[in-house]
Amino acid sequence: MNPVKLCGKAGVTIYASTGRAGYGVPDRMSSLHFYKAYPGSQIILRDVRYLFNVATYSLEVNPKYIYTYDYEPECSWTTYNGDLNGNTYRQENYVFEQECYFRLCFKRTDGGAFTSEDEGRFEMIVDFEQGEASFSDKPFFREEACKTAASLLEQAAADAVMLAVVTDSHYTVNGTWDDTASNIAMVHNMAAFHGIVHLGDLTDGMLPAELTRDYAEMVMQDLIANQVPLYVVPGNHDSNYFMGNPEPFEVKAQADIYLSYTDRYTVREGKLPNYYFDYPESKLRCFVLHSFDYREDVRYGYAEETLDWLSQSLQCTETGYSILLFSHVPPLANLHYWSNEIRNGEALISLLEDYQRESSNEILGLVHGHNHADAVDLERDFPIISIGCSKLEYFTDKKPKGSYTPPRQRGTVSQDLWDAVRITPSQSRIDLIRFGAGEDRIVYRDLNGVWRATSPNTGGARDSD
């Protein structure tokens, strides 16, 4: 048995009808987190001044969360078993007979209201001893990892920079993030990434701030376990504003949360989460741009402060460097389904194109997430590259024209989606090697100086002529 620390919140109940949390109920205290139990796991009450109730949730996933635009309100891809009611409060041990998730709801034997003192003693009130997990081998992921690593290493030039780039994970309980994290680690162990970039939307951003922080931290911990630099590009959902959430994160909080493992490797000035990082041996500078502010009338886009900082930082970039930019949101409205305007988007592109014309340094491209679809746009002076979502999702509506959404299926290699990216500044080339659903893509400048892209079976990429 493995002891697992539990925590909870005073004034919160678990509704018997839905299994969801309810707030403002003084005589109840419940766990907000979902905990995993295996057969033989048990809950042991240590304080007889309380009674506890157990709500369990099966591993069955409602397909609407995969195949339609829909978000589970508590970010949990589970199905409530309907086993909690007013008559099931207990003090005797609770033993789990099958694998499931669970939450606990407490009441006091004196019928009184719960206090912050009760909440602080949660882990002393009850123990959870977790049984052993059953191992489920997924050979299709190992085969894909071998292929991805081999492609990444094949004919890699001396100046090649290799990054794992993942975006829009939208962490959910009983989702697929654990497999994604495992797959990134598997490829890294075979091919040694120089760093990992998460292009944003680590979570759905629709939960109490405490839970969103915990889930985001879980995602980042999984990535820093690879012991290479992690670069997070905060997305719109990372503001924790979604679905009218009353506990959004302001800009400083976003920087504190999402750049906590990034600042040591980067150069950042000002309050916004804009920064850059260098690979001096390859003469490559990568910029990360903050692209969403829920407080603005035009929420998607770039602050004047961001453009000023970028302009100054570009001017200070050493001659001979290549430039690559990362943003969560695409910079132009025609590349974006959700709005008709990107704040300062055209100004950003003009700034970069002017720099490209006036400087000997080359802009290799701007890479973004957010659209949950693949695309390469070659209409401007540099490529704009979209990467699909690692979240298990498949529907073709609500996507920009010309983009491509590959089919996905749980329990197959197409469940996962992220890119092993090889950047070769000396060749003006970016190889995006796909792990999982979708195809590899190559974006390069030809001998005539024209940007081109090859990507079989994707409608979003094309030759620039």
Task: Provide the 10 A C-beta neighbour count for residue 217.
Answer: 15
Average pLDDT taken over every residue of the chain = 95
Residues of the chain with CATH 3.60.21.10: 139-454
- pLDDT-derived band at 457 (thresholds 50, 70, 90) equals very low
Predicted pLDDT at 462: 36
| Average pLDDT estimate for 218-238 | 98
Tell me: the pLDDT tens digits for 37-67?
999 999 999 999 999 999 999 999 999 999 9
pLDDT bin (cut points 50, 70, 90) of residue 270 is confident
Query: Band of the pLDDT at 1, cuts 50, 70, 90?
Result: confident
Checking if the pLDDT of 461 tops 50, the result is no
Does residue 97 surpass a pLDDT of 50? yes
Which CATH fold topology does 139-454 show?
A: Purple Acid Phosphatase; chain A, domain 2 (3.60.21)
Mean pLDDT to the nearest integer, 411-434 = 98
Q: Greater confidence, 133 or 376?
A: 376
460 pLDDT exceeds 70? no
**pTM for the model:** 0.95
How far is Cα 152 from Cα 149, in angstroms, rounded to an integer?
Answer: 5
- Overall average pLDDT of the 329-353 stretch: 97
Phi then psi dihedrals of residue 229, to 5 deg: -60, 140
Q: What is the per-residue pLDDT for 171?
A: 99
